[in-house]
């Protein structure tokens, strides 16, 4: 037993986890290249280098693969949640978060995959729930920073910090979509968003 009380992973457990991750990585590549609906289970198996039966041993179907990917997205939010949890002055935390999240969104594959998950979330309640939970956690963490900044006098008072947080994320993520479509450098988008947020929230002299 390990210190956490869990049994140590066996070689079989490690092999299973490795094969599962291999399938997920292959699915991500297929979804990026073809789109979710144009990708078949056989395409994922071929890309992963496994048999169709082997894939079904890990995932009942393509939908279950997408659910797992949506769950993994939560792990990718951890660095940004950590930034927002810092107790530095709110304006500094905001700027650091915007630049870090903007850098993440600058990768076209992150934007495209998010769009694929979003489009399927509209049709599938379980994926929608995961997607909304991920978004809510980021919004809540950003809202906490705004409220702390307002209380400390570092940020201008706004009627609804939660709505402002959602607007900030919408502007940044919308800019990332535009960047992918129009080839506008994401650094320009992020710079404009930082200027906009500072002009909107910093106390007026």
Tens-digit pLDDT profile for the chain (205 aa)?
A: 445 555 656 766 677 788 888 998 999 898 888 888 888 899 999 999 999 998 899 999 888 888 888 888 778 889 999 999 999 999 999 999 999 998 888 888 888 888 777 777 778 788 788 777 878 889 999 999 999 999 999 999 999 999 999 999 988 888 888 887 787 778 888 888 889 888 889 887 6
Q: What is the pLDDT of residue 146?
A: 96
Query: Is 1.10.3720.10 the CATH classification of the domain at 11-59?
Result: no
d(CA 24, CA 34): 15
Give start-end residues of each CATH 1.10.10.60 domain in the chain. 11-59
| Gyration radius from the chain CA atoms | 20
> Taken in order 106, 182, 171, 129, is the CA torsion positive or negative?
negative
DSSP code of 202? S
CATH 1.10.357.10 domain residues, the chain:
70-201
Q: Is the pTM of this model over 0.75?
A: yes
CA separation, residue 34 to residues 30, 65, 141 (Å): 6, 15, 34
pLDDT of 83 reads 96
Closest CA to 69 of 14, 109, 16: 109
What b-and-e string marks burial along 32-62, b requiring 16 or more CB atoms within 10 Å of the CB? beeebeebebebbbebbebeeeebeebbeeb
| pLDDT, position 13 | 61
Q: Which pLDDT score is estimated for 123? A: 80
Which residue's structure tokens are 């990332």? 176
Instruction: For the chain, give the number of residues.
Output: 205
pLDDT of amino acid 33? 85
Residues 202 and 205: their CA atoms lie apart, in Å, by: 9
The correct CATH number of 70-201 out of 1.10.3210.10, 1.10.357.10, 3.40.50.10860, 3.40.50.300 is 1.10.357.10
């Amino acid at each position: 037993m390990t210190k956490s009380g869990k049994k140590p992973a066996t070689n079989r457990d490690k092999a299973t986890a490795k094969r599962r991750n291999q399938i997920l990585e292959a699915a991500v590549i297929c979804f990026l290249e073809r789109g979710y609906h144009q990708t078949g289970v056989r395409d994922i198996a071929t890309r992963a280098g496994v048999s169709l039966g082997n894939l079904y041993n890990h995932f009942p179907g393509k939908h279950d693969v997408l659910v797992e990917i949506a769950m993994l997205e939560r792990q990718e939010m951890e660095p940004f949640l950590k930034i927002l949890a810092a107790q530095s002055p709110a304006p500094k935390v905001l700027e650091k978060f915007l630049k870090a999240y903007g850098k993440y969104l600058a990768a076209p594959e992150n934007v495209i995959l998010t769009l694929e998950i979003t489009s399927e979330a509209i049709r599938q309640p379980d994926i929608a729930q995961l997607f909304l939970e991920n978004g809510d956690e980021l919004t809540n963490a950003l809202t906490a920073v705004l409220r702390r900044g307002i209380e400390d006098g570092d940020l201008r008072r706004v009627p609804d910090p939660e709505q402002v947080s959602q607007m900030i994320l919408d502007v940044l993520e919308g800019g990332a979509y535009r960047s992918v479509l129009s080839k506008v450098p994401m650094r320009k988008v992020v710079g404009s968003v930082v200027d906009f947020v500072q002009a909107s929230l910093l106390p007026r002299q």
